[in-house]
Chain A
């Protein structure tokens, strides 16, 4: 018995070794390296001198850096709740085993499969102020649509629209999986007790979906704080930096302005912020548990 365990353990370690090596080489080592670089004036090419906390000191006075955080927080506050709401609604609609429903599921999942850059390129055209489909449709309703991507007050909303379009598909799939894990007997007994459809959702579905919601919200928050591709392609961070995100700024600072040390410091602060937000999210989801 004991021997068998040992053998199993050995095999287990053997199987995870390749993955762990890759994880070590491409995640752990780079992170440690970036941490070291954040204390240097590394410029990719000629210098790598230790500068202590200089980069971090500079960061606190960098108004642009904090503006990028305000931008992604604005983005998250709208994006994350909408993302959860819409993907849950679609999942509820498509959670039946009726013929044809699979087709709709596939169609809703399709946007997720396209590459962010390709999708954003098409959306630039859809959002064109004069010839775009979006303003064309608004025109039928008698509304003059804005120049979505060129105006400071609509640029971030456009990015939210595009990222929502692209991300609700995968969250819908997660929610459908969650919904199918809810045991039927709960609904049956609730029906016997005379619970309405809303009550059944409120007291059975939603609480049962808590782990799913936790997963979806955490992933959305992390994704939101790391927004890059869409902002890069749709607006290049403009106009007036309203769509510039921390990751975009880090990329620019490191590769365009050759300040990789400073960019590493920015990346580290971003990582800490993501950690904090994920932690808050865990707490919020735990506190809800006591309601039950």
Chain B
């Protein structure tokens, strides 16, 4: 991309107003027509960035909703670069009615008033907040206002290749020590070539999870500064260092660029890895010969169990023209046992609506059960508007240097803390 293209993009963003007003005018007759006869069907636009399989999963739910009543018609629109498009639309009125929302974004976007709070609707329809995962609702909230309902919840759990573990005579690990020992036994080298990696150390972004397993927290108690430059942080880096450099259970870049069908885990080149429920459908589809199991994340040295909760929600943009109808659709999908279950079965995602999880589909599936257990203790990322910036710009680059052997554990933590604290301070206030 050239600088000019970028500049042009910024300009489009800035002047989205004019461009989209024209758009609105074009749409006006249809809307006006709707007002005249309220019996007419209302069109609700739903934006998401899932294509392919994901699009089919979405459309299943959209069709189910459209067939359930005759007043509202929802249309799914696939947006490749959804957030960028949403931002230009948000300021101008070209906004969709429902938005598929990566929840962690809430604390960055909600303060800017681009989302519509849904507390009123929740009270009006008498929804019980206890039916949803509390952490997921917390992640969709900003300053006591709720901005959406959770569509999926996920957490990392340990995936293992049953055959490789059986061949090596190893049982699925439950603690760090067992994980390390198992990984060592499972790894196979052929000279300088790594043939089977015992355990994936691909995702340095999981530092947060390891830290909690070691008994630590990413931020201090009042959420103002980093809290990993200590014994707990050191314990994580020492574990990584041992596994990567001493035990040599993994090689950096081992999994880069391997697509769904050639994934190292699918092809039996990787014995154990942390992964989320979103990969269950892929592994079932591509790995016909792959016999895998899932267990809750191994506990740290002091027995602490931890995983990070993430996932998606559905929100209503502040600029939506059909807010009531949008809410009906969101309620149908996320706050109804049968529909949440239909969603779970078509997409193999874990819905945020707890009553649906009582179904045998979840309680009797050995691959889903560990996730449900993990989700009961999983915590969301800290809600600080500078948190993602801190992770991206202060922590992760230094972890890269550590994994590349360019920084000692002490220096890594120290540098990440210095820059991280600065970034948290710089990004603390969002007007």
Contact residues in B for A264 (Cβ distance below 8 Å): 7, 10
A to B CB contacts below 8 Å, 27 in the list: A26-B8, A29-B11, A30-B12, A31-B4, A31-B7, A33-B11, A33-B15, A34-B7, A34-B10, A45-B87, A45-B113, A46-B113, A46-B431, A121-B257, A130-B251, A149-B257, A152-B404, A238-B397, A240-B398, A240-B400, A240-B406, A247-B1, A251-B1, A257-B427, A260-B13, A264-B10, A267-B6
CB distance from B405 to the nearest CB of A (A): 9
Q: How far is the CA of A271 from the CA of B2 in the complex (A)?
A: 11
1/0 per residue B391-431: CB within 8 Å of A?
00100111011011010000000000000000000010001
- Chain B: interface size category: 35 or more
Chain A CB within 8 A of B78 CB: no
Of the candidates A121, A128, A239, A267, the one whose C-beta lies within 8 Å of that of B7 is A267
Of the candidates A139, A147, A250, the one whose C-beta lies within 8 Å of that of B6 is A250
Q: How far is the CA of A129 from the CA of B251 in the complex (A)?
A: 9
Interface core residue of A30, A124, A254, A257 (most chain B CB under 10 Å): A30
CB distance from B128 to the nearest CB of A (A): 33
Instruction: Evaluate contact between B404 and A33: CB separation under 8 angstroms.
Output: no
Instruction: Evaluate contact between B108 and A33: CB separation under 8 angstroms.
Output: no
Instruction: Evaluate contact between B112 and A43: CB separation under 8 angstroms.
Output: yes
Instruction: Evaluate contact between B10 and A254: CB separation under 8 angstroms.
Output: yes
Q: How far is the CA of A242 from the CA of B393 in the complex (A)?
A: 12
1/0 per residue A21-45: CB within 8 Å of B?
0000011011101100100001111
Contact residues in B for A257 (Cβ distance below 8 Å): 108, 389, 427
A263-B253 contact in complex given A152-B406, A226-B3, C-beta closer than 8 Å: no
Of the candidates A33, A42, A64, A128, the one whose C-beta lies within 8 Å of that of B253 is A128
Chain B CB within 8 A of A150 CB: yes
Chain B CB within 8 A of A148 CB: yes
Chain A CB within 8 A of B288 CB: no
Chain B CB within 8 A of A84 CB: no
1/0 per residue B362-402: CB within 8 Å of A?
00000000000000000000000000010001001110110
Chain B CB within 8 A of A282 CB: no
- Determine the residue in chain B with the shortest Cβ distance to A246: B3
Chain A CB within 8 A of B91 CB: yes
Instruction: Evaluate contact between A130 and B400: CB separation under 8 angstroms.
Output: no
A46-B112 contact in complex given A30-B7, A37-B14, C-beta closer than 8 Å: yes
A150-B8 contact in complex given A45-B91, A46-B114, C-beta closer than 8 Å: no
Chain B CB within 8 A of A151 CB: yes
How many A-B residue pairs have C-beta atoms within 8 angstroms? Tell me: 138
Q: How far is the CA of A44 from the CA of B89 in the complex (A)?
A: 10
| Chain B residues near A (Cβ < 8 Å) | 1-4, 6-15, 83-84, 87-88, 90-91, 108-109, 112-114, 192-194, 251-254, 256-258, 389, 393, 396-398, 400-401, 403-404, 406, 427, 431
Q: How far is the CA of A267 from the CA of B3 in the complex (A)?
A: 7
Q: How far is the CA of A130 from the CA of B6 in the complex (A)?
A: 37
Contact residues in B for A54 (Cβ distance below 8 Å): none
Q: How far is the CA of A105 from the CA of B370 in the complex (A)?
A: 58
Instruction: Evaluate contact between A130 and B91: CB separation under 8 angstroms.
Output: no
| Chain A residues near B (Cβ < 8 Å) | 26-27, 29-31, 33-34, 37, 42-48, 64, 121, 124-125, 127-131, 139, 144, 147-153, 226, 228-229, 238-241, 247, 250-251, 254-255, 257-258, 260, 263-264, 267, 270-271, 274
Instruction: Evaluate contact between A255 and B84: CB separation under 8 angstroms.
Output: yes
Of the candidates A33, A127, A238, A267, the one whose C-beta lies within 8 Å of that of B400 is A238
Contact residues in B for A45 (Cβ distance below 8 Å): 87, 90-91, 109, 112-114
4 pairs of A and B residues whose beta carbons are closest in the complex: A150-B253, A147-B253, A124-B257, A30-B11
Q: How far is the CA of A34 from the CA of B192 in the complex (A)?
A: 52
Contact residues in B for A64 (Cβ distance below 8 Å): 393
CB distance from B225 to the nearest CB of A (A): 19
Contact residues in B for A33 (Cβ distance below 8 Å): 7, 10-11, 14-15
Instruction: Evaluate contact between A247 and B252: CB separation under 8 angstroms.
Output: no
Secondary structure dominating the interface of B: helix
Q: How far is the CA of A270 from the CA of B7 in the complex (A)?
A: 12
Instruction: Evaluate contact between A125 and B257: CB separation under 8 angstroms.
Output: yes
A228-B256 contact in complex given A26-B8, A34-B7, A152-B400, C-beta closer than 8 Å: no
Instruction: Evaluate contact between A37 and B253: CB separation under 8 angstroms.
Output: no
Of the candidates A30, A46, A129, A148, the one whose C-beta lies within 8 Å of that of B10 is A30
- Determine the residue in chain A with the shortest Cβ distance to B197: A130
A229-B1 contact in complex given A128-B257, A149-B256, A255-B87, C-beta closer than 8 Å: yes
Q: How far is the CA of A27 from the CA of B90 in the complex (A)?
A: 24
Of the candidates A130, A228, A271, A274, the one whose C-beta lies within 8 Å of that of B194 is A130
Interface core residue of B2, B4, B91, B398 (most chain A CB under 10 Å): B4
Contact residues in A for B14 (Cβ distance below 8 Å): 33, 37, 42, 48, 260
Of the candidates B3, B83, B254, the one whose C-beta lies within 8 Å of that of A270 is B3
- Determine the residue in chain A with the shortest Cβ distance to B15: A33
- Given A43-B112, A263-B10, 9 further pairs, Cβ under 8 A: A42-B14, A45-B113, A47-B431, A48-B14, A127-B257, A129-B253, A131-B258, A147-B252, A149-B257
Instruction: Evaluate contact between A151 and B90: CB separation under 8 angstroms.
Output: no
Q: How far is the CA of A271 from the CA of B4 in the complex (A)?
A: 9
CB distance from B233 to the nearest CB of A (A): 18
CB distance from A19 to the nearest CB of B (A): 15
Of the candidates B3, B13, B15, the one whose C-beta lies within 8 Å of that of A247 is B3
- Determine the residue in chain B with the shortest Cβ distance to A49: B431
Instruction: Evaluate contact between B254 and A129: CB separation under 8 angstroms.
Output: yes
Instruction: Evaluate contact between B254 and A130: CB separation under 8 angstroms.
Output: yes
Instruction: Evaluate contact between A260 and B10: CB separation under 8 angstroms.
Output: yes
- Determine the residue in chain A with the shortest Cβ distance to B393: A64
CB distance from B190 to the nearest CB of A (A): 10
Instruction: Evaluate contact between A147 and B251: CB separation under 8 angstroms.
Output: yes
Contact residues in B for A26 (Cβ distance below 8 Å): 8
Contact residues in B for A131 (Cβ distance below 8 Å): 258
A151-B1 contact in complex given A34-B10, A128-B256, A130-B251, C-beta closer than 8 Å: no
Contact residues in A for B397 (Cβ distance below 8 Å): 238-241
Contact residues in A for B253 (Cβ distance below 8 Å): 128-129, 147-151
